[in-house]
Amino acid sequence: MESTQTEATQAYVKHKKGIWISTGIFAFIGLAGGIVGVILFALFGFFISFLFALIAFKIKETPEEKAYFRKQAEELNSKLAQERKQQKGSISKWLDERKQKKEEEQRKQAEIEQVKEELYKKNVEWWLTEDLSIHAKKIDGLKLSKNEYCYYKSSEPINWKEDRVSTRRINYGGLTATIHIAKGLNYRLGSINTAINKSTRIVTVLTGTLFLTNKRIIVASNNKIKAYTFKRLLKMEPYSDGVALYSSAGKRVILDGFTDATHFNIYLDRLTSEDNVLPNNWGNIS
């Protein structure tokens, strides 16, 4: 393809003057047909002249000219092939660098995640074994009993949720008939079935700061406050973002909103099952 283009270009350059003279002659002949005739005859003349010039160029080529043009075509093809190879190599290099960069980012991210996981495991081990008494303290604005201390305070708003049961009674009467028994007394035959439908929904009662003491769980917001004493607690179901508390009466309280509730759930489990959580100088803490 490159060789043909080179020969055509050389033929045009070599016979350019003759091509345009022939084109002018054909355009002059087309004057009888107006502007359209001039344009059509000029195009036809240019095509015919260029074709004859190309044929003449090929016929008049000497062996030296043929060798010269062949060499030029080979050099041009070689240059184009080299440029394609370099371009392909650059793209391949860019793709390899991009792949290596992505793999490096993934490796670093995996290392970061591993460090986070190891640190998290260490924190969990520490929360399970540390001396809780070192965290015992009183909270300003929160009235705690004499031997009650706070061990955990949430850093984010926590939702206090409760179950609400709605009851609806449905009366159904089948086929009935009325029998007169006495004056003012009618007996209604048939059956009446009473059905009770119950539905449970979860309602957010309060959202606020959570405090965990050695006696209860407290959620406070402005002038509102809710407390759940450990004496009521029969069972707890920990979740990644909270906990469900069940009382001996079967009622459920849900605390959620934690980014990670592991810390709180461990402390809650320990405070409800361990006795040695009070500080040695608990009577002097204010």
Domain C-terminal end among 61, 79, 105: 61
Q: What is the CA radius of gyration of the chain?
A: 48
Per-residue pLDDT, 237: 95
- Let me know whether 45 and 143 are in one domain: no
Q: What is the pTM of this model?
A: 0.56
Number of separate domains in the chain: 2
- Let me know whether 9 and 145 are in one domain: no
Q: In this model, does residue 96 exceed pLDDT 70? A: yes
192 domain-assigned: no
More confident residue, 147 or 286: 147
82 domain-assigned: no
241 domain-assigned: yes
Amino acid at 162: E
Residue 204's SS3 state is strand
User: What distances in angstroms separate CA 224 from CA 175, 217, 218, one per listed residue?
Assistant: 54, 14, 11
Question: The domain that contains 217 carries what CATH number?
Answer: 2.30.29.30
Domain C-terminal end among 38, 61, 84: 61
Per-residue pLDDT, 285: 46
- Smallest CA-to-CA distance from 226 within 206, 254, 201 is with 206
Q: Which residues contact 12 (CB under 8 A, 6 or more apart)?
A: 19, 50, 53
More confident residue, 41 or 219: 219
As a whole number of angstroms, the distance between CA 14 and CA 4 comes to: 15
Of 122-131, 137-146, 154-163, 191-200, the range with the lowest mean pLDDT is: 191-200
Two tokens, residue 22: 């022939």
- Let me know whether 161 and 267 are in one domain: yes
Per-residue pLDDT, 92: 81
As a whole number of angstroms, the distance between CA 208 and CA 225 comes to: 8
Average the pLDDT over 261-274 and give the result: 94
Q: Whole domain around residue 52: which residue ranges?
A: 2-61
- Let me know whether 53 and 150 are in one domain: no
146 domain-assigned: yes
Per-residue pLDDT, 261: 94
Give residue for tokens 């004499």. 146
Q: 2 falls in which pLDDT band (50, 70, 90)?
A: very low
Two tokens, residue 34: 């107006």
- Let me know whether 57 and 145 are in one domain: no
Domain C-terminal end among 43, 61, 79: 61
208 domain-assigned: yes
CB 235, CB 247: distance < 8 Å = no
Chain mean pLDDT for the chain: 82
CB 227, CB 218: distance < 8 Å = yes
231 domain-assigned: yes
Average the pLDDT over 195-221 and give the result: 91
Average the pLDDT over 181-206 and give the result: 72
**Beta-sheet pairing, 252-256 with 158-173:** antiparallel
177 domain-assigned: no
As a whole number of angstroms, the distance between CA 13 and CA 16 comes to: 5
- Let me know whether 53 and 143 are in one domain: no
Of 30-34, 113-117, 224-228, the range with the lowest mean pLDDT is: 30-34
Q: In this model, does residue 252 exceed pLDDT 60? A: yes
Q: In this model, does residue 67 exceed pLDDT 60? A: yes
- Let me know whether 141 and 265 are in one domain: yes
More confident residue, 160 or 31: 160
What is the number of other CB atoms lying within 10 angstroms of the CB of residue 97? Answer: 10
Q: 1 falls in which pLDDT band (50, 70, 90)?
A: very low
Per-residue pLDDT, 161: 96
More confident residue, 84 or 154: 154
- Let me know whether 264 and 152 are in one domain: yes
- Let me know whether 272 and 162 are in one domain: yes
Q: In this model, does residue 264 exceed pLDDT 70? A: yes
99 domain-assigned: no
